[in-house]
Amino acid sequence: MGKDKNPRRVADNEAMAKLRMLRVSPQKLNLVAGLIRGKSVEKALSDLTFSKKRIAVDVKKCLQSAIANAENNHNLDVDELIVAEAYVGKNLTMKRGRPRARGRFGKITKPFAELTILVRQIEEQA
């Protein structure tokens, strides 16, 4: 007499991972997410490993989580996974300030972002 199982949000050959509250602007995060879109997961992991961007470490963790979800929760083959989608969204913005000349107030915004990575299993053509 329990509740029904929630329906899957993605297709049967897909797995997803989401990372929220990343302390970086969405514009900067989107540059790193663009590096991995459409690539195989092993190529994407190596690109993130050798990237000089600070946020690439967190993007790599999210990609590894998506790969682990595909392998453990959905029984997908890791060698046939590609990064189907990697998209970025806005999150909250901290408002801070700094005193300026003549009694004014300089507004400083510290944005947060969120990242969603979707990996898909493709059948390799022989």
Q: Which residue has the tokens 């053509």?
A: 125
Joined together, the tokens standing for residue 5 give 């199982």
| Residue 100 in this model has a pLDDT that exceeds 90 | yes
Please write the tens of the pLDDT for every residue from 103-125.
999 999 999 999 999 999 998 76
Q: Which residue has the tokens 């540059």?
A: 31
How many other C-beta atoms can be found within 10 angstroms of the C-beta atom of residue 24? 20
What would the DSSP string read from start to end of 46-107? HHHHT---TTHHHHHHHHHHHHHHHHHTS---GGGEEEEEEEEEEEEEEEEEEE-GGG-EEE
Q: What is the CATH number of domain 14-121?
A: 3.90.470.10
pLDDT of residue 2: 87
- Amino acid, single-letter form, for residue 2: G
Please write the tens of the pLDDT for every residue from 21-76.
999 999 999 999 999 999 999 999 999 999 999 999 999 999 999 999 999 999 99
Alpha-carbon separation of residue 12 from 15, 76, 93, 126 (angstroms): 8, 9, 35, 23
The answer to whether the CB of 41 falls within 8 A of the CB of 83 is: yes
pLDDT of residue 125: 60
Q: How confident is the model at residue 126 (pLDDT cuts 50, 70, 90)?
A: low
Rounded to whole angstroms, the Cα distance separating 24 from 111 reads 6
| Residue 98 in this model has a pLDDT that exceeds 60 | yes
